[in-house]
Structure 1
């Protein structure tokens, strides 16, 4: 048997095979986060005794991976989303939530190691058999872990790894391969060997145990699985209900119990945003069912599959599955659920070129017609309100915010009037939040702020609301309030880069360059391939005269995005600063080969070729740039200057005149240059008039600063 071992540890450190925690990651044991959950069950009790505030800060991440720790550390911050019963849950987590959880756990591990005063040594076994969540966590851990705080050993029996983990292992860890003889007890007792296989929860690679298991008759195998499932249930560990328990019931004697176990697991997985595992569990569950005998259970699991496919960016597969389910069953609730979901595919999940908002609207109108016929009053009211809320999203996409506002407002009024106050608290908050977002789109910022204040009062631990309120406050000019909201959002959420990216932009507006640089650096620590953050950070470092730091960011960006035009242009600007004109010209050429309409590269290449006397190329580049940004006064100024340098006074004067009509133009400089053109064209009166106007513009308190030409 071949095994692969990767290690991340400080250079020169001897490895002694002693670990603070060791985890078997085989997904059949506990499903998502099998390995990480095992690790946390081992480490968190000590961390909780030493630094309970550290554990409390990361409670959401810890409990997402190891729910059994709730009795020790408490439930953590609760939201209306986490508290909603399954049939009232109307909000789904994004697919990238698991990345945020991973980042939070890594910061917990760093904090725990600092508290201990020495590095944690962690080992993860059978990673090639791990769920996507564990493999994603390890990919991020290996990239972000500080080796003096966390040393990582990854062991696999094969190479069935997600691409991100394969890449990260190659970049950050040392790799060894070993051959091991197959080991198993020398037993002739077939029953004992088969029992050992079952007690491994079907994860044993021992050939003798596997063979013995296959030799046992079907009835005995089922009995052994039933026995093991009952034993595991008695342990009380919830995460076993996501892995080993459904597996044993799947191979046991009670198919109905197995189907129920898969449905229970699927409900939890969709509520937590563990979509890769959901695909596996829901698919295996439907395979156990006869759709004719258990239609509701069958389509409920089937729609879990479609949900996962849509959120994971596979809308075509989701649509095919919805159509199959709709063809199989005539149950109204299936057609209501799937009609709404098909609408969301066409207005939200499909790429832009495949979106069809009119088709989405047609699906929703069909659903609303069906919902109006439901016999149960509460269900009829809720489904009508819920689907009108979906229709409001489509109207927003179609550019009809006033109609969207009407739909959301009437829905909120209906649900408040028709249903008891304790029902659908989550969706009521969603409606208020959505109304606030529509107000924002309409520019009715005071009303938007009032609605977001309301949802924060209703659901104070939900971080997205603070993120949205920061946007509204910023539009209203309340920059300190927006900054406070961004910072508040951090306290409720596992790390997510978007918040820090937006806060960096706000800090820059407030003049806090150091804070902006720190936030952008953190964005790139979380997600190194975020291109806009990389470009912005390189630009800020250049403005701070940190050419080396800026170049390092650009080169790292090009490693993630080879040939990116904006990065090449940024490198050209650094070369230009250093007086390396030929290197700058090469980079501008490369940038324009990759993106011919990149205005910055066109403008700066024009400046360089002008210095060589190539007026024609300079004019061509600036003309192309102006075709993209026709209202850019700096581009008109620069093209006018090129014409003037070439002695084309009339063309220069026209560009200067056009630039003077645009906001943000440097009027004094433009008037002085146009005055020179008038003189060259033999019009001394116009020449003197422009000089006088230039002097007046220069002395005006509203005079524009000199435009940036590069």
Structure 2
């Protein structure tokens, strides 16, 4: 069977179920060759997580395209340097990331903050922007991507192709040819709800038994390790190959050393869902053996970070309880009491600040008992008291929260060199800013946000949050400047674009606000605030059909609201539909019967009906 016999060419998503192996790969390659005869550009990508890691297929594809990008679109390479470095670790030798922040630059004991899970989602959307812009620059009529093993891909690869079609599928000439194991088509069809897939099962030869001797794999892996040496970039780039190769060698246990390295590396990058796969693969053996408690506890810490990053607090609680039972040494126990406190203060569905404080106090006692250097003790105490500051903030004891953070900062500032614990110092100052922000003391809040930015000038979120303070105080120019800087410093995220839209709308820049709100909604549909803001701007611009669509979407999303119903009624009335306007106003008045303005508007609508 040739590809032309296979599936309707009109389908953007075409899925074939067939056994994995050389025959399936050859089938996809033939499919790409057939498609390319019409001038279409095509690629065949193996996206199996086991084969290529969290960015499997995408990394090889971007590596292949990079020379052309550098020649023909160097501005895109510069704009998306962060995303490229995430996929291609060694690329930073040629294309250094322009704006690394302290979270990027801090390692080991210095790294006291992990990224939220949405940081990885931002990278996905930045890559979509890069690929879409490159498609436009390359003037290709159509791209065809054959994705071998999408059912085995990591979470971010699946997300990228799902979101790329959602965001651009209506206008981008892109076709996905997807190969999955028999019976797995339904697993990937759900990724493309707006593009019904054509599915066909094929009988192809199964994957032949690997006849390579284990000793040959050992030889190859030893040679690869020698090539990598102590280079951390090469290590990260080759982790999937090392795991896969040692698994097939005559020393398969060595693969777990690299799974642990993958867990540590990908957790640091914020790739929590995919990092977790590696941690859960090595955990049973570590727990059974009981011979390497340090590595077991370190694995627990990294899995804890994955679980809380993914919002799975209950499993994190169970894991933390196990870890505490295995941590009789004060140096170990102090960490687990802190992490338990954060679960009860921040992550569990029911907050228990008293229990969080109890664990912080227990952690402080372990710090006092532990065999630590003076500087280690000072830092651990400052870190613990920052946790207590969070508890005090939740208790409404905000002056105490500020005092705790200030004391911790002053202690670090007095005892450590300026280049030591910069990240945690910036976090302490940022936390003070957040407390002042919650107290609605804008001058103090902006002053401390500015101090945090002086310490970590490339952290996008600091600009976004200082911009929010300026927005509330009506300093729209300063707010817009901060939002613009936040946008430059990070792959795209919807919150900052919504905030910029709010700022532009308040400044009367309705056209610009519509663009910003639309960008936010492109990144994350179904945001009520962005939809409402855009509806109001469309309303002001007399783009009535667009305003009607957005007001309706807000009501469907958030339920009936008197103000939104009244606004939609105004649009309907101006569109010559007074009966519908009257119905909306009747509904609004039923929700808010004391509003004189609604009654007046109803009288106008009623006159229009008459």
TM range (shorter): 0.7 to 0.9
Answer whether contact 1:109 1:150 (CA < 8 A) is retained: no
Q: Which residue of 1 aligns with 2:364?
A: 368
Is 1:505 paired with 2:489? no
1:310-709 correspondence runs (5 A)? 310-351=308-349, 354-376=350-372, 377-553=374-550, 564-565=559-560, 569=565, 574-575=571-572, 577-578=574-575, 580=577, 583=580, 604-605=586-587, 621-622=591-592, 635=595
- Cα distance change of structure 1 residues 563 and 379 upon mapping to structure 2, 3 Å threshold: closer
- Cα distance change of structure 1 residues 402 and 166 upon mapping to structure 2, 3 Å threshold: farther
| Aligned mate of 1:230, from 222, 228, 234 | 222
Answer whether contact 2:189 2:197 (CA < 8 A) is retained: no
How far apart, in 2, do the equivalents of 1:121 and 1:263 lie? 37
Indicate the SS of the match to 2:198: strand
Which has the larger displacement, 70-79 or 503-512?
70-79
Is 1:58 paired with 2:54? no
Which has the larger displacement, 561-570 or 15-24?
561-570
How many residue pairs get matched? 566
How far 1:146 moved relative to its partner? 5.9
Which has the larger displacement, 49-58 or 332-341?
332-341
1:88-487 correspondence runs (5 A)? 88-119=110-141, 121-123=143-145, 124-145=147-168, 151-158=174-181, 160=184, 166-172=189-195, 174-182=197-205, 206=207, 208-209=208-209, 221=214, 223-233=215-225, 236=228, 237-250=234-247, 252-254=249-251, 257-289=254-286, 290=288, 292-351=290-349, 354-376=350-372, 377-487=374-484
How far 1:160 moved relative to its partner? 4.9
- Cα distance change of structure 1 residues 405 and 44 upon mapping to structure 2, 3 Å threshold: same
Residues 215-269 of structure 1 show CA distances to partners (whole Å, capped at 9, x for unaligned) of xxxxx64x35433433544665545544231243345454774343222211211
- Cα distance change of structure 1 residues 40 and 572 upon mapping to structure 2, 3 Å threshold: same
| Aligned mate of 1:31, from 28, 47, 53 | 53
How far apart, in 1, do the equivalents of 2:466 and 2:485 lie? 11
- Cα distance change of structure 1 residues 95 and 497 upon mapping to structure 2, 3 Å threshold: same
- Cα distance change of structure 1 residues 22 and 71 upon mapping to structure 2, 3 Å threshold: farther
Q: Which residue of 2 aligns with 1:73?
A: 95
TM-score calculated relative to the size of structure 1:
0.73
The higher-RCO structure (CA 8 Å, 6+ apart) is 2
Residues 45-89 of structure 1 show CA distances to partners (whole Å, capped at 9, x for unaligned) of 210122222101101111112223223322442211111122221
For structure 2, the 5+ residue unaligned runs are: 14-33, 229-233, 604-610
How far apart, in 2, do the equivalents of 1:533 and 1:637 lie? 25
How far apart, in 2, do the equivalents of 1:276 and 1:641 lie? 52
How far 1:358 moved relative to its partner? 1.8
How far apart, in 2, do the equivalents of 1:573 and 1:563 lie? 19
How far apart, in 2, do the equivalents of 1:480 and 1:228 lie? 59
Indicate the SS of the match to 1:153: strand
- Cα distance change of structure 1 residues 640 and 131 upon mapping to structure 2, 3 Å threshold: closer
Which has the larger displacement, 339-348 or 443-452?
443-452
Indicate the SS of the match to 2:365: helix
Residues 536-581 of structure 1 show CA distances to partners (whole Å, capped at 9, x for unaligned) of 32233234332211233356668xx678435994766644554646
How far apart, in 2, do the equivalents of 1:335 and 1:62 lie? 39
How far apart, in 2, do the equivalents of 1:161 and 1:550 lie? 39
How far apart, in 2, do the equivalents of 1:5 and 1:403 lie? 67
Indicate the SS of the match to 1:355: coil
Indicate the SS of the match to 1:34: coil
Answer whether contact 2:148 2:178 (CA < 8 A) is retained: yes
Answer whether contact 2:217 2:245 (CA < 8 A) is retained: yes
Superposition RMSD on alpha carbons, in Å?
A: 3.3
Indicate the SS of the match to 1:109: helix
Residues 403-431 of structure 1 show CA distances to partners (whole Å, capped at 9, x for unaligned) of 11011000001111223333212111211
For structure 1, the 5+ residue unaligned runs are: 183-204, 214-219, 589-602, 608-617, 627-634, 646-710
How far apart, in 1, do the equivalents of 2:418 and 2:308 lie? 32
How far 1:504 moved relative to its partner? 0.8
Answer whether contact 1:373 1:380 (CA < 8 A) is retained: no
Select the structure of larger CA radius of gyration: 1
